[in-house]
Amino acid sequence: MKQLLLVFLGGGLGSVLRYLIAKTFNGYFQHFFLGTFLVNILGCLIIGIVLGISAKNNYLNQNHTLLLATGFCGGFTTFSTFAFEKHTLLTAGEYLNFSIYTISSIAVGILAVVLGLWLSKLT
């Protein structure tokens, strides 16, 4: 029961923060959803750091990992919104923006995880 509560709390915090960031940044560029991009990249960086620290020296226990990685990052990042935004770009005929947004989100996301894992080694 404790583990479910940790995931619930982390997910709730992540979801609220995602909403605030998306509300603040999604209107800056036409056909590029900056808020969603930022939360997904930050989520990749955070999960890289959290899982890297957890694996490196057992500094974080299973409960910390559930709260931060499963809960917070799970609630903070959003694949469903990412997919819906891709659909929006395709139906609007924005094929170049679709390609740029999709490729940059995936590539920068992977790089952010790698950076997070690298940063975790510095601790």
Give 53-63 pLDDT, tens digit per residue.
988 877 889 99
Going from N- to C-terminal start, the domains of the chain cover 2-25+33-121
**For helices 79-91 and 34-57, what crossing angle results, to 10°?**
150
Nearest 10 degrees: Cα torsion 22, 73, 46, 110: -80
Please list the residues that pair with 32 across neighbouring strands. 29
What are the start-end ranges of the H helices in 1-123? 2-25, 34-57, 62-65, 74-76, 79-91, 95-121
**How much of the chain, in percent, has pLDDT values that exceed 70?**
100
State whether the Cα torsion 62-64-66-68 is positive or negative. Answer: negative
Nearest residue to 101 (alpha-carbon basis) of 15, 30, 53, 20:
30
What would the pLDDT profile of 18-35 be if each residue is shown by its tens digit?
999 999 999 888 888 999
Question: Can you tell me the mean pLDDT for 99-115?
Answer: 97
Give pTM, 2 decimals: 0.90
